[in-house]
Structure 1
Amino acid sequence: MSTNQASFVRASMIEASPAPSLESGAVSWLRKNLFATPKDTALTIISLLILAWLVPPAIQWLFIDAAWSGGGRGVCATLSQGGSQPEGWSGACWAFVNAKFAQFLFGRYPLDERWRPALVGILFVLLLVPMLIPRIPYKGLNALLLLVALPILSAILLPGGWFGLTYVETPLWGGLMVTLVLSFVGIAVSLPLGILLALGRRSNMPVIKMLCTVFIEVIRGVPLITVLFMASVMLPLFLPQGVTFDKFLRALIGVSLFASAYMAEVVRGGLQAIPKGQYEGADSLGLSFWQKMGFIVLPQALKLVIPGIVNTFIGLFKDTSLVSIIGMFDLLGIVRLNFSDTNWATAVTPLTGLIFAGFVFWLFCFGMSRYSGFMERLLDRSQR
């Protein structure tokens, strides 16, 4: 190459030019998501006006005019400084939530024995968090401790009566403890039982298929209140004389069976979505039925129905509030029970308690929803 020709060849790449200001940053996001068309612009403006109308009064009532500490209804029955609430009432009565917080967690569980549910709760968190993080090893041991050892330990600690522990009857249980126990047991039982029911409904054996179909359709055809009522009132009528079950155990059985029927249909939808070639390929390898399902079909089917599974879990978590029909007090039930306390009888107490209960329910449900999205993205790499 001659010297003149070499002078036209660059020795380095041209540096990248910055993106246009309208195609990057916050301005670009606003233009694409909120003001892309005249219709989007109008809806955005209307939404902002609604928020400007609702949010400031809500913040004023929830935080600025709220009563945060104190004892008795007097702290919520006076107009806060600079407040604007009529009839002499303050904003939200968070002092009521603060005073009743321990009861909202443990119900009427004896004060000197509350270390037992607190210990169970700490162990639950310590075992659940590593189970949910994919990078942490020893998942088999973790699952064994969470799903086998912890329930056995909880059955010893919570009711007591063993190893010198004071017996605490289940009617004294309540609050968030009951909500978490019901939902955890319901989730742990409904998923494997739902898988078995879904496989049974697709079975080629007529008796198994009929029994699973009848069970699923009967349970799905009645509301949970009916199932709980039958488990609490009618179940003892079918037992031998002198044989009985604890009322809380009946609620656990009713909630678990109810969730299992819905879980079975979710899993069945995933099984039907798997191409027939997957089944035939497993058969051609000489795999048994359970090997085919455990190694080939179910991993693909469960990955497809993660949103439906988590949706069932969220519905189960919220439906635990229906155990009040049989005299058990979950978080919502114990909050409503405290409305009758004359020491806190104000016009703002019920709404404050319901907002607190709703926020706790939303926090758990939102956490399950976000983790579901994380698992979907993690397991969907082969499809991208």
Structure 2
Amino acid sequence: MATFELKEALPPPSSTAGPIGWIRANLLSSPLNIVLTLLGVYLVITFLPPLLDWAIFSADFTGKTQDACVSGGACWTFIINRLPFFTYGFYPEPERWRVNIGFILLAAVIVPQFIKAFPAKQWIGLFGLTGLPILVAILLSGGIFGLESVPTDKWGGLMLTLVLSYVGIVAALPIGVVLALGRRSQMPIVRMVCTTFIELWRGVPLISVLFMASVMLPLFLPEGVSFDKLLRALIGITMFQSAYMAEVIRGGLQAIPRGQYEAASALGLGYWRSMGLVILPQALKLVIPGIVNTFISLFKDTTLVLIIGLFDILQTVNSSIVDPSWNNVAKEGYVFAAFSFWIFCFSMSRYSQALERKLHTGHKR
């Protein structure tokens, strides 16, 4: 009787595994991919060396004035010298430690969310949504606890951009949830009010909202009553983004099968408990990409506040590149502003992808 001997499985062919296999599968898998790969290599060889030469190898990094930029490359000396203005705006220099503490607190809230095994990060996140905005507002504004009062017209740069975007994000999400639930309500008055609010704010550009908040709103207030310009901008941005957030969340609510609503009712859950425990958790998981996309859009739209006289990071760059003491530094200024926005937007995008994988948003089987 013949006997059979089990042998160890052979390794996969070298052409289908490792770097060679990855290149064949992703870059050379079809004639079109081969052409696109060759085109990409050509573009990299053509444009990357001069770009690196301008940005790094021939760039100037030291000095105090325009005269220090003599190599013909990027004048990063301009960015280094104006970095405090790009970061703090007109905030008084002796009080900038308060802004630094705000940055540290923001990092202490955000960074743990990227660390999978970080302890108590849920409570840290909850503090970031509730206590952090209040604490930072007290720090930056002052006027109490012995802190010198700093008016908001002194705020600017990256600090102002983060304040506008963070407050807008924290406020727009819960308001958007309420509006989405209201638009799907069985009560006609509630549904009509929420629908009117959403369509009104989505029907006008943000630049018009900011103009209205800055110029028209004071005309409707009683004599002697005024709102801070920054507060008006925050209200306008929050209401505008809440309308878009509501539609994103409504899409998630409509994607939940009817059986989930019936199952919640069968368990004896009321409307708010069924929404909070059954429906909303599933709906929010489904629309994580849409929610983060709205957050990224909000972050970039904060640049529009320059039209009402607020100096965000882009406006501080704009005002610096026209300084007569610095010439031909527009490229460096705009590259710095673009890179700053890219860092924050890319971080939000990566976090949303990690959150999707963690929560299995795609419901993969």
Q: Is this a same-fold pair by TM over 0.5?
A: yes
Residue identity opposite 1:366 in structure 2:
F
What is the CA–CA distance in structure 2 between the aligned matches of 1:301 and 1:146, rounded to whole Å? 23
Aligned with residue 358 of structure 1, among 315, 338, 341: 338
Correspondence 1:145 to 2:134: no
Map 1:279-294 to 2 at 5 A.
Answer: 279-294=261-276
**Residue matched to 1:303:** 285
**Residue matched to 2:90:** 108
- Relative to the length of structure 2, the TM-score reads 0.96
How far off its partner does 1:25 sit? 1.1
Of residues 315-324 and 374-383 in structure 1, the stretch that sits farther from structure 2 once superposed is: 374-383
Aligned with residue 56 of structure 1, among 40, 49, 55: 49
From the superposition, tell whether residues 145 and 39 of structure 1 become closer, same or farther in structure 2 (CA, over 3 Å): closer
What is the CA–CA distance in structure 2 between the aligned matches of 1:65 and 1:140, rounded to whole Å? 47
How far off its partner does 1:132 sit? 4.5
What is the CA–CA distance in structure 2 between the aligned matches of 1:24 and 1:141, rounded to whole Å? 44
1:152-207 CA deviation, whole Å, 9 max, x = no partner? 21121101111221111111111110111111101101111000000000011111
What is the CA–CA distance in structure 2 between the aligned matches of 1:144 and 1:52, rounded to whole Å? 48
Correspondence 1:243 to 2:225: yes
Residue identity opposite 2:148 in structure 1:
T
What is the CA–CA distance in structure 2 between the aligned matches of 1:66 and 1:131, rounded to whole Å? 36
The SS at the match of 2:268 is coil
Correspondence 1:183 to 2:157: no
**Residue matched to 2:364:** 383
1:22-72 CA deviation, whole Å, 9 max, x = no partner? 111111111111111122111211221122111111111111111111111
Aligned with residue 351 of structure 2, among 363, 371, 380: 371
What is the CA–CA distance in structure 1 between the aligned matches of 2:192 and 2:126, rounded to whole Å? 33
How far off its partner does 1:141 sit? 3.2
What is the CA–CA distance in structure 1 between the aligned matches of 2:125 and 2:56, rounded to whole Å? 42
Map 1:24-173 to 2 at 5 A.
Answer: 24-76=17-69, 78=70, 80=71, 90-139=72-121, 141-173=123-155
Residue identity opposite 1:63 in structure 2:
I
How far off its partner does 1:134 sit? 4.6
**Residue matched to 1:204:** 186
What is the CA–CA distance in structure 2 between the aligned matches of 1:110 and 1:214, rounded to whole Å? 43
Q: Percent identity?
A: 54
**Residue matched to 1:278:** 260
Q: How many residues align?
A: 364
CA-based RMSD:
1.5
How far off its partner does 1:340 sit? 2.3
**Residue matched to 1:86:** none
What is the CA–CA distance in structure 2 between the aligned matches of 1:362 and 1:140, rounded to whole Å? 26
How far off its partner does 1:133 sit? 3.7
How far off its partner does 1:289 sit? 0.5
The SS at the match of 1:383 is coil
**Structure (1 or 2) with the larger CA radius of gyration:** 1
Aligned with residue 263 of structure 1, among 222, 225, 245: 245
What is the CA–CA distance in structure 1 between the aligned matches of 2:110 and 2:37, rounded to whole Å? 41
Aligned with residue 295 of structure 2, among 313, 319, 343: 313
Residue identity opposite 2:364 in structure 1:
Q
**Residue matched to 1:223:** 205
**Residue matched to 2:3:** 8
Stretches of structure 2 that go unaligned for 5 or more consecutive residues are none
What is the CA–CA distance in structure 2 between the aligned matches of 1:131 and 1:65, rounded to whole Å? 39
- Relative to the length of structure 1, the TM-score reads 0.91
How far off its partner does 1:9 sit? 5.6
What is the CA–CA distance in structure 2 between the aligned matches of 1:42 and 1:52, rounded to whole Å? 15
The SS at the match of 1:164 is coil
From the superposition, tell whether residues 132 and 190 of structure 1 become closer, same or farther in structure 2 (CA, over 3 Å): farther
What is the CA–CA distance in structure 1 between the aligned matches of 2:342 and 2:123, rounded to whole Å? 31
**Residue matched to 1:232:** 214
From the superposition, tell whether residues 62 and 132 of structure 1 become closer, same or farther in structure 2 (CA, over 3 Å): closer
How far off its partner does 1:130 sit? 2.5
From the superposition, tell whether residues 63 and 70 of structure 1 become closer, same or farther in structure 2 (CA, over 3 Å): same
